[in-house]
Amino acid sequence: MRRAAIALALALALMACGQSEPPPPLPEAPVQVAAAAWFICDAIDAPVVLVFERDGSTARVAQYGKPDGEIVLRTEYQLGDQEGAAGSVYTTLIQNGVDVGHIRQISPGMLETPGAAFTLPFTSVRIGNRDITCRWMPRTRLMGFTGRRTIVVSEDGDGDLLYHSYDFASAAEAQQIEVSENGRTTTFSLEVRDGTEITNADGANYSFQADAETEINVTVDRTGVGRVSVARHGPEPAQSEDLIAYIVGAGAE
């Protein structure tokens, strides 16, 4: 009964997230989750971010709200059977022996460009009676989120690095769009092209020149800590936000 109640609470919490509020100040210490997320479902049709961790046949889900990035709920599911249909794979979510939803993943071979699937194309999650569509971008090198925004570092077809941010404060006004190579996303808050990359034993840094005076750096270190920093008029960051959770695309290896 307790697991069924938790599943119902998650479904109700997701339906209640449609109200937008002004974002509070960033917390000094962001909520931490396991660095090795299975996948992140940054909803493009609901003000939530779902972080899935997997341990064998168990999936643990942390739900974060927009626009503040605060954790709302943690739940646990057993992963059931997988069923294929029309180029997709559906994995059942089970609680207390009851089917309470599923995860949908498109088979990379069904994409317009199969090699563009640097991250597995998880496209939607169903929990209770609520369907949530996930952001997915081709050639994603890194996707994560802070207390204020989702960020995606990806490549274009020529291998040039791109930076996109999606601010939580304006998520309610963002429009869903489809991009080339089966991408699903929303209108971005900021786009910066022609980034550079430095990768070594200490981690990776992606640097983007937003304008003549503004540099954005996305860094992840070997301990699993990630950060987005903005520098203006000097080496010290004018703004720095820790990544609450992130995934790294296989194309970056």
Q: pLDDT tens string for the chain (253 positions)?
A: 434 444 434 444 444 444 444 333 333 334 444 447 999 999 999 999 999 999 999 999 999 999 889 999 999 999 999 999 889 999 999 999 999 999 999 999 999 999 999 999 999 999 999 999 999 999 999 999 999 999 999 999 999 999 999 999 999 999 999 899 999 999 999 999 999 999 999 999 999 999 998 999 999 999 999 999 999 876 666 889 999 999 999 864 4
Contact 39, 122 (CB under 8 A): yes
% of the chain at pLDDT higher than 90 = 77
pTM: 0.83
Phi, psi (rounded to 5 degrees) for 70? -80, 145
Tens digit of each residue's pLDDT (9 = 90 or more) over 218-242: 999 999 999 999 998 766 668 899 9
CA angle 91, 174, 117 (to 5 degrees): 40
- The pLDDT of residue 9 is 45
Alpha-carbon distance 47 to 181, whole Å?
25
